[in-house]
């Protein structure tokens, strides 16, 4: 049951992608990136505000740290931004 202020259930592949990114950042001890993502993910309520915060956080990480990320992580991050944006804005 969806309430008007909650997002539709998300694709499990999106959460798997985000989990993989966080795992990689933990393994590499990418503390700068982790300090941004951990307050925003995992989502606790799934409300639109949380999705918007996650979207902005992912974009901020890309903006500030993309050059420091391995190519595979940068690609995964870009994919996550697109998927979260689609969930949030229907794009």
Q: What is the pLDDT of residue 9?
A: 61
pLDDT of residue 3: 44
Kindly state the average pLDDT of the residues 70-87.
Answer: 97
Tell me what pLDDT residue 13 has. 94
Q: Render pLDDT for 20-46 as a digit per residue (tens, 0 to 9).
A: 999 999 999 999 999 999 999 999 988
DSSP string, 43-77: -SS-BHHHHHHHHHHHHHHHHHHGGGS-HHHHHHH
3-state secondary structure of 6: strand
What percent of the chain is predicted at pLDDT more than 70?
Answer: 88
Separation between Cα atoms, residue 74 and residue 52, nearest integer Å: 20
Closest CA to 15 of 69, 63, 54: 54
Where does residue 4 rank: exposed (0-12), middle (13-18), buried (19+ CB within 10 A)? exposed
């Amino acid at each position: 049951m969806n309430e008007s202020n909650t997002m539709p259930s998300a694709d499990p592949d999106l959460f798997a992608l985000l989990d993989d990114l966080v795992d990689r950042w933990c393994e590499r001890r990418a503390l700068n990136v982790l300090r941004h993502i951990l307050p925003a993910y995992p989502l606790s309520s799934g409300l639109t505000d949380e999705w918007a915060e996650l979207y902005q956080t992912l974009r901020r990480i890309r903006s500030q740290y993309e050059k420091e990320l391995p190519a595979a992580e940068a690609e995964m991050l870009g994919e996550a931004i697109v998927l979260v944006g689609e969930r949030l804005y229907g794009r």
